[in-house]
């Protein structure tokens, strides 16, 4: 009973806190004259990923590495298969490939980089600094390019900020920002505690709980934002939000996490195994990240690009395919469906 209350309470606080934080910080940014482009690219992208970041840091602080890395992988998979799948299933999404090309290509590159670091088990403080620096460089370059070229991508990021169009007084924006931060921190603590209890109760790894329960909970802001955007016919906002969130999840969350709490993916008992053969369950060195996880991550990216860049829309049946793929993945990780990969 307590485990269920912790998980549900964590979901609620992460969702409410994340929404309040983004709305409050966007309101403050507008008051000080920040452009819609910068707000959409930075505050909205960072704000919707903050639940994942705080949850991952909380998990690492308690030694629950599986919950932390599972949360990032699961959130990125859920963002595409669950969030975009649900949005497209509700209403077919017309896409603008030109607006998605740059951010999409960068997300693919970041995902490949992440796979390399997973393979060598290289989540050191140096890697964290490099990830964070790369994220900052990308944000700065994006703002400069979008301002100079008045590009479609720039319009997409501006539209993301407009989804939080509220004329709140400054004092309320500040209050929501502070309250949102507090809600996210407490919600993350509840969710990590409840998730650890769930792993012990169901006899599954913390990584599985991180990929499923924790990832779904921390992806709620993206899910709501994308469905609302799709219903309004602003498909690029839904897709752009997911692309930006996935980049933030890898570079921002894992970057900051590795700086604060450098970690290993190798399960206890595999010490002394060379890094180049240690990751991804090679021999006796068992990684907490499996081939199934990485396969699902790359399959989700592949399906998104195939559906978004062909026919200039994501049809409802394609949304159904994404949702079915997500159910298949979760079923495999809970051993309800035989795994295709190891």
Location of structure tokens 């490099």: 130
Domain spanning 2-333 has what CATH number?
Answer: 1.20.1420.30
pLDDT at 309: 76
DSSP secondary structure of 23-86? HHHHHHHHHTT--HHHIIIIIIHHHHHHHHHHHHHHHHHTT-HHHHHHHHHHHHHHIIIIIIHH
Widest pairwise Cα distance in the chain: 60
Q: What pLDDT digit, counting tens, does each position of 180-211 carry?
A: 778 888 887 788 788 777 877 777 788 888 89
Q: What pLDDT digit, counting tens, does each position of 275-316 carry?
A: 343 444 444 457 889 888 999 999 999 998 888 877 677 888
Q: Give the C-alpha distances (Å, rounded to integers) separating 141 from 25, 34, 128, 152, 244.
A: 22, 17, 20, 15, 14
pLDDT at 78: 93
pTM of the model: 0.82
pLDDT at 74: 92
- Distance, first Cα to last Cα, the chain: 34
Q: Where are the domains of the chain?
A: 2-333
Give dist(CA 289, CA 68) in Å, integer: 11
Residue 127 has pLDDT above 90, yes or no: yes
DSSP secondary structure of 163-220? TT-----HHHHHHHHHHHHHHHHHHHHHHHHHHHHHHHHHT--HHHHIIIIIHHHHTH
Residue 146 has pLDDT above 70, yes or no: no
């Amino acid at each position: 009973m307590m485990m269920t209350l912790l998980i549900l309470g964590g979901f609620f606080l992460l969702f409410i806190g994340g929404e309040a934080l983004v709305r409050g910080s966007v309101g403050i940014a507008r008051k000080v004259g920040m452009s819609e482009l910068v707000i959409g690219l930075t505050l909205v992208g960072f704000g919707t990923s903050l639940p994942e970041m705080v949850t991952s840091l909380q998990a690492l602080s308690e030694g629950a590495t599986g919950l932390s890395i599972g949360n990032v992988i699961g959130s990125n998979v859920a963002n595409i298969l669950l969030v975009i799948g649900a949005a497209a299933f509700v209403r077919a999404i017309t896409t603008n490939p030109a607006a998605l090309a740059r951010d999409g290509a960068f997300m693919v590159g970041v995902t490949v980089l992440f796979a390399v670091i997973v393979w060598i088990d290289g989540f050191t403080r140096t890697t964290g600094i490099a990830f964070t620096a790369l994220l900052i460089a990308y944000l700065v370059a994006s703002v400069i390019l979008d301002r100079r070229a008045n590009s479609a991508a720039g319009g997409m990021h501006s539209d993301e900020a407009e989804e939080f169009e509220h004329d709140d007084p400054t004092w309320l924006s500040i209050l929501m920002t502070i309250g949102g931060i507090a809600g996210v921190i407490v919600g993350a603590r509840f969710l990590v505690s409840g998730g650890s209890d769930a792993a012990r109760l169901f006899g599954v790894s913390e990584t599985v709980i991180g990929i499923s329960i924790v990832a779904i909970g921390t992806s709620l802001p993206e899910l709501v934002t994308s469905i609302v955007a799709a219903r309004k016919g602003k498909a690029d906002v839904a897709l752009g939000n997911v692309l930006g969130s996935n980049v933030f999840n890898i570079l921002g969350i894992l970057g900051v996490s590795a700086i604060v709490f450098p970690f290993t993916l190798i399960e206890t008992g595999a010490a002394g195994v060379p890094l180049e053969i240690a990751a991804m369950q090679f021999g006796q060195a068992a990684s907490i990240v499996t081939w199934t996880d990485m396969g699902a991550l790359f399959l989700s990216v592949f399906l998104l690009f195939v559906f978004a860049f062909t026919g200039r829309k994501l049809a409802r049946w394609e949304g159904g395919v994404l949702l079915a793929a997500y159910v298949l993945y979760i079923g495999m990780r809970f051993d309800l469906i035989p795994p295709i990969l190891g």
